[in-house]
Amino acid sequence: MKTIIGLVAIIFLVTGSLAQKAQKPWGEWSRKDAEKILSSSPWSQVQTETDTSEMFYSPTTMGDTHSRESQGATNQAITVKYYIRLFTARPVRQAYVRLLELEKSQSDDAAAEKRRTWANLGASDSVIVAVACESSDRRYLGRAMQAFSSAVTAVLKNNAYLERNDGARVFLAEYIPPGKDVFGARFVFPRVVNGEPFITNKGGSFRFHAEYESKTNVDQANNPQGETSRRATTNPSAGAGQAPSAFKFKLDMKFKVADMLYNGDVEY
């Protein structure tokens, strides 16, 4: 009996500790707290893609035949990490602002107030998924960024959607390519469909899916001037006469609604 009472007491203490930590004001978050929100939380997850082809040496020539510059493999697997974040969820925006505050020892009061107001804004009429990427290999990172930069709403609209666990889908309304900020590419979806929120607090889950592949003929069909095509298919490792390979991405991530409770509200 004493053992059971002791276990119950421990459970209450642990639960209380977790609840207290969850309710910690975001203005008091440490760098570790904010980074966790942006990388491993109910609102942010990481999709990792690994290429093992670079583990084996395979020299190629770059440039014209006069330079004969060779490039070998890295002799290690290459990974690209895609950080998939629910940008319209307050915890995500608060984490961005908190990291900025921790980096700046002094800040203009007016600018700081604007950032905090933005961080605390409630839900808009959209659900925005932000995707940023990183890789230790600059070539792979460059290719990923080329894909995100060359993608457009018209091409993505049928291949990017939110899907509930009952199979219902809402498709992309707008795509915003990466800019100079740290947020990455943004996929915008309607929050309300047929007068009802597409995602509710009734539990369950939903997933974000988006895929894109940029090929010369596809880009030329959508952009007769060819500007996007040349930018999107430039491949420095391709020799003369070789067809440029596609820049592409395929993202798929599930989010659990029940885990998104934050200060009494479901945030997404």
CB 152 within 8 A of CB 227: no
Residue 18 lies in a domain: no
Confidence of residue 98 (pLDDT cuts 50, 70, 90): very high
| pLDDT band per the 50, 70, 90 thresholds, residue 61 | very low
Q: What is the pLDDT of residue 78?
A: 83
Q: Is residue 56 part of a domain?
A: yes
Per-residue pLDDT averaged across 148-159, rounded? 95
Q: Are 174 and 197 in contact (CB under 8 A)?
A: no
| DSSP-based three-state secondary structure for 216 | helix
238 part of a folded domain: yes
Let me know if residue 95 belongs to a domain. no
Q: Which residues span the domain enclosing 84?
A: 40-88+123-266
Residue 108: band (very low, low, confident or very high) from pLDDT cuts 50, 70, 90: confident
Give the number of domains in the chain: 1
- Residue 204 belongs to a domain: yes
Q: Give the H or E element holding residue 149.
A: helix 138-150
Q: How many contiguous H segments (helices) and E segments (strands) does the chain have? A: 8, 15
Mean pLDDT computed over 158-172: 95
187 found inside a domain: yes
In this structure, is residue 137 part of a structural domain? yes
Q: How much is the pLDDT for 24?
A: 86
pLDDT of residue 105: 62
pLDDT in tens, 193-215: 999 999 988 768 999 999 999 86
- Structural domain includes residue 15: no
